[in-house]
Amino acid sequence: MKILLSDKAAIIIRAMLSQPARKWVARDFEKEFGVGRARAAAVLSELRAKGFVGGIRSGRLAHSVLQNKEELIEEWLKLYKFERNETYLYYSAREDVLRSLKNYFASKKQEQAYALTLHTGANFITHYVNTPTMYCYLPAENFKNASLDLRQALDLKELKRGGNFCLIKPYYKTAVFFNTQTIKGYNVVSYLQLYLDLYHFPQRGRDHAEYLLKTLKEEGKNIV
């Protein structure tokens, strides 16, 4: 279901997953998330055709309600892989490079202009995989200039191979930052995005994704 690979559709789906009992109409997504009404209606129609949305189709009481959310996430996992993002690997000699990252954005009053993912983000919750590599999303808009400024500020070095700091231009240009959370003072992508990114990631990604899910359940939290 290729709709799951559309940025606008992903915003709609994430919103519905985060409020699974809500009765939605297309204009809700326009007002709250900036997704055009026609686009939202088309996405809801396709989700209904695939059995992921129920509710009343037409009339004064028409609305859409999410259903079969576990199956929807399973379908998403079949299509999405972290490798759809553009990644750029650098090297930092700093032991406190994450703190430097946070301080850099705080000094520019742009605290929300990044989000950590993969093992870096998930370890704030699980402490499960010990890895030296940091993974950080920057907004797709103006990525080139923003990443250059950050590299200069953090003294990130370009290498022909290897590295320990990965800057990521997101495939989901807007949706990847949906429900970004602050954990211990750092911006981390949503639980759902962590799960999606980790699931097919070659370096112990599946193990960490499953452990993240287990940890959240034990804490009484949901992946969405």
Q: In what order do the strands lie in the sheet with 86-91?
A: 157-158, 86-91, 165-169, 134-137, 115-116, 186-188, 181-183
Q: Is the pLDDT of residue 196 over 80?
A: yes
Number of domains in the chain: 2
Instruction: Report yes or no on 126 lying in a domain.
Output: yes
Q: Is residue 106 domain-shared with residue 57, that is, in the same domain?
A: no
Q: What is the model's pTM?
A: 0.95
Q: Is the pLDDT of residue 110 over 90?
A: no
Q: Is residue 96 domain-shared with residue 144, that is, in the same domain?
A: yes
Angle between helices 69-79 and 191-199 (to 10 degrees): 40
Q: What is the pLDDT of residues 71-93, one digit of tens each?
A: 999 999 999 999 999 999 999 99
pLDDT at 34: 95
Q: Is residue 148 domain-shared with residue 207, that is, in the same domain?
A: yes
User: Dihedrals φ, ψ of 135, to 5°?
Assistant: -125, 120
Q: What mean pLDDT value characterizes the chain?
A: 95
Q: Is residue 69 domain-shared with residue 7, that is, in the same domain?
A: yes
| Residue 131 burial (C-beta neighbours within 10 Å; 0-12, 13-18, 19+) | middle
| Coil, helix or strand at residue 53 | strand
Compute the average pLDDT of residues 192-203.
Answer: 97
User: The CATH number of the domain where 32 resides is what?
Assistant: 1.10.10.10
Q: How many CA atoms lie within 13 A of 202 on its CB side?
A: 1
Instruction: Report yes or no on 6 lying in a domain.
Output: yes
Cβ atoms of residues 214 and 221 within 8 Å: no
Q: Is residue 112 domain-shared with residue 210, that is, in the same domain?
A: yes
Q: Is residue 9 domain-shared with residue 86, that is, in the same domain?
A: no
Q: Is residue 48 domain-shared with residue 147, that is, in the same domain?
A: no
Q: Is residue 148 domain-shared with residue 214, that is, in the same domain?
A: yes
Q: Is residue 160 domain-shared with residue 112, that is, in the same domain?
A: yes
Q: What is the pLDDT of residues 136-175, one digit of tens each?
A: 999 999 999 999 999 999 999 988 788 999 999 999 999 9
Q: What is the pLDDT of residues 1-37, one digit of tens each?
A: 888 999 999 999 999 999 999 999 999 999 999 999 9
Neighbours of 141 (CB within 10 A): 10
Backbone dihedral region of 69: left (phi > 0), alpha (psi from -120 to 50 degrees) or beta?
alpha
Examine the fold and report which residue of 46, 79, 112 is the final residue of a domain before the chain moves on: 79
Q: Is residue 71 domain-shared with residue 91, that is, in the same domain?
A: no
Instruction: Report yes or no on 160 lying in a domain.
Output: yes
d(CA 199, CA 202): 9
Instruction: Report yes or no on 223 lying in a domain.
Output: no
pLDDT at 149: 96
Token pair for residue 183? 């954990």
Name the band, by pLDDT with cuts 50, 70 and 90, for residue 183. very high
Q: How far is C-alpha 184 from the chain's CA centre? A: 18
pLDDT at 15: 97
Q: Which domain holds residue 193?
A: 82-218
The span from the first CA to the last CA of the chain, in angstroms, equals 20
